[in-house]
């Protein structure tokens, strides 16, 4: 009897596994795509979701008593140019140099998070929160505007360069 059960299980289980797995897959949500904050940015076709970044930073600022930031078109262009320049040079820029350039354009209370090596927006945000100077940039209560960008450098050990500019 036991031998008959073992033989039946040996036949039924391999036949049932694909059907069971198929049923599980069929019950998965239709939209199983990752939220944009978790999408890898270390490839040529990747681009940061600026609105998701703005919303994430706004929520963080709200939790710390600061108003949300508005994406400023000029700061956005500057962040994109800075991220591209860092990727081309294969090294992060000096924040003081970037801040001075932005101030010359008439912005006040300028701060910059310039970094490399974070492959997702979630990683960058987490890393910035853990760094006192980067956290201060995101939480600066005087800032009202922002620009954020990434640039991919395939030959770099960092792969992804980041520029977050905040100002008033």
Name the nearest CA neighbour of 128 among 61, 69, 81, 72.
61
Q: So what's the pLDDT on residue 10?
A: 52
pLDDT of 19-43, one tens digit each? 444 444 444 444 458 899 999 999 9
pTM (2 d.p.): 0.80
Find where tokens 């019950």 sit.
Answer: 27
Long-range Cβ pairs for the range 16-22 (8 Å, 24+): none
Where does residue 65 fall: left (phi above 0), alpha (psi -120 to 50 degrees), or beta otherwise?
Answer: left
């Amino acid at each position: 009897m036991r031998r008959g059960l073992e033989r039946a299980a040996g036949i039924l289980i391999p036949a049932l596994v694909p059907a069971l797995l198929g049923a599980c897959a069929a019950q998965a949500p239709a939209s199983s795509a990752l939220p944009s904050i978790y999408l890898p940015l270390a490839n040529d076709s990747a681009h940061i979701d600026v609105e998701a970044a703005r919303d994430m930073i706004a929520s963080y600022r709200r939790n710390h008593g600061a108003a949300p930031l508005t994406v400023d078109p000029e700061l956005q262009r500057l962040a994109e140019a800075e991220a591209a320049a860092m990727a081309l040079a294969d090294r992060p820029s000096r924040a003081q140099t970037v801040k001075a350039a932005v101030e010359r354009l008439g912005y006040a209370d300028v701060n910059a998070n310039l970094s490399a090596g974070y492959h997702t927006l979630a990683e960058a945000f987490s890393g910035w929160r853990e760094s006192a100077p980067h956290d201060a940039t995101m939480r600066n209560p005087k800032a009202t505007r922002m620009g954020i960008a990434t640039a991919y450098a395939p030959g770099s050990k960092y792969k992804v360069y980041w520029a977050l500019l905040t100002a008033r």
